[in-house]
Amino acid sequence: MYRFALDDLKKWKSKSNRKPLVIRGARQVGKTYLVRQFAGEMFRHLVEINFERTPWIASMFTSNDPKNISRLLELQFDIPVIPGDTLLFFDEIQAAPAILASLRYFYEDLPEQHVMAAGSLLEFAFEEPGFSMPVGRIEYMHLGPMQFEEFLMADGKERLAAWLNDFSLCDDMPESLRRRLTGMLKTFLIMGGMPEAVAVYLRSGSWQECESVKHALLATFQDDFNKYGTRVRHQRLQTLFRKIPLIVGQKFRYVNMDRNERAADLASALNLLCHARVCHRVCHSSCSGVPPGAMADEKKFKALFPDVGLMSSAAGLNLLDFEKAEDVMTVNAGAVCEQFVGQHLLYSLPCYRQPELYYWVREKRNSSAETDYVITEGTSLIPVEVKAGKSGTLKSLHLFLREKHHSLGVRFNSDLPSVLDTETALPDGLNIPYRLLSLPLCMVGQVRRLIREQLDDSERISQD
């Protein structure tokens, strides 16, 4: 299955200032598969070491001499290690933190050798006593679940994916095409973007087999809890892991997780889940400027699950729930679609950027407001709303635009794509002009490109 990250790996291979690359992401998002696909296309040889399965290989790295290490690996695996022809891939590197630290020597003493590593619990390794991070000697790639367009391509719908990638707001979307995309979207919302679940469904066409894979993946995440060490009770991790899929889109309150647990203890458990990327915090930001993270309140946040398909399974949803709904945005009170949009926005930045996402809330008596998400494009802050139906109130978006002096907002709904120059509509009558970019859910992967087009258009108009 094709992943967009493959193009980024090819660019990395040819960089003149290339450093050892570490791929970070949750379990089962396809890190190993991606590297093998990359190696098969771009190298003659691949030396792959899984440090969870063969921890004793770590003894070959004690010299910190990359040339000596390469010779030992050649002897061990009977594969030539030739710079430019061979890719060294160190998988599950969190099981051998010293190896991660030693990557600096490949950068310093043997930069022509292509070296990649991957791990799913790397943050835990970083916190180990005595760990020395090779700052400035490695670079990162952040990998999440498959995107909607990647699913289309995996399903043989390359033309449909290409049409989305080339779509302009000047183009028409025929009703028949919208219905087809909506049908594919329903499939993705229940199946999700975990590569194994996608592969099984596309191979077998069986929802039962797909559901079996997703429940196995959920169990895998929980089996990993014993690798979190003695930092927190497993019961707290289990409690949070079970309840987070049920509260997506809601403000996170520890008291709603377990009234018998202290908030500080639950917070420690949640931190571990976030480190393992089986949960993502979406923190409130006052959004008084760029970047919004500089004004984030980490005590006020919402939570995202790693994948919409896993969320659907954990919440007990099935295909029938989506098929009988007139509008998929009403399923599970809209939380499924908010998860879908959120996970795409989370990984919509360049792959070397740490995934992050924010929202804005104003809690004033008789005048509360909350946007689902806020993203940045250049120096612009863009409020994003996920609204059921073809209309839906946009009061919060209007308040944000007026208070923050911005002029572009985004709405995801079930209608056709459009752009509208209008005014905010607030009871006090102090309205301002703004542009509303309205997109169907299936176009979430194109939102940043379309936002840039609108911002460029607005800049041209202001110059004229």
Domains annotated for the chain, with CATH where assigned, are 5-142 (3.40.50.300), 149-463 (no CATH)
Output the six-digit token pair for 403.
């208070």
Output the six-digit token pair for 236.
């707290």
Output the six-digit token pair for 243.
């309840």
Closest CA to 142 of 4, 285, 15, 1: 4
Q: What's the CA dihedral at 305, 350, 107, 95 to 10 degrees? A: 10
pLDDT at residue number 45: 98
CB 401 within 8 A of CB 407: yes
Separation of CA 289 from chain center = 24
Sequence-distant (≥ 6) Cβ neighbours of residue 13 within 8 angstroms: 42, 114
Output the six-digit token pair for 301.
């946040």
Cα–Cα dist 385/20, whole Å = 39
Q: How far is CA 456 from CA 5, 337, 376, in A?
A: 27, 29, 14
Cα–Cα dist 339/188, whole Å = 12
Output the six-digit token pair for 101.
């630290």
Residue position matching structure tokens 């008084």? 288
Measured over all CA atoms, what is the biggest interatomic distance in the chain, rounded to whole angstroms? 77
Q: 86-91 and 114-119: which strand pairing?
A: parallel
CB 290 within 8 A of CB 379: yes
pLDDT at residue number 182: 92
**pLDDT of the chain, 464 residues: tens digit per residue:** 899 999 999 999 999 899 999 999 999 999 999 999 999 999 999 999 999 999 999 999 999 899 999 999 999 999 999 999 999 999 999 889 888 888 999 999 999 999 999 988 887 777 665 666 777 899 999 999 999 999 999 999 999 999 999 999 999 999 999 999 999 999 999 999 999 999 999 999 999 999 999 999 999 999 988 887 666 788 899 999 999 999 999 999 999 999 999 999 999 999 999 999 999 999 999 999 999 999 999 999 999 999 999 999 999 998 888 888 878 888 888 999 999 999 999 999 999 999 999 999 997 777 789 999 999 999 999 999 998 655 557 999 999 999 999 999 999 998 999 999 999 999 888 999 999 999 999 999 999 999 999 998 766 554 44
Cα–Cα dist 109/97, whole Å = 20
Output the six-digit token pair for 381.
């802050």
Query: Long-range pairs for 424-430 at CB < 8 Å and ≥24 separation?
Result: 424/398, 424/399, 425/394, 425/398, 426/395, 426/398, 426/399, 426/402, 430/402
Output the six-digit token pair for 168.
């302009």
Cα–Cα dist 249/304, whole Å = 8
Cα–Cα dist 32/53, whole Å = 14
Output the six-digit token pair for 261.
């647990």
Strand partners of residue 283:
301, 358
Sequence-distant (≥ 6) Cβ neighbours of residue 430 within 8 angstroms: 402
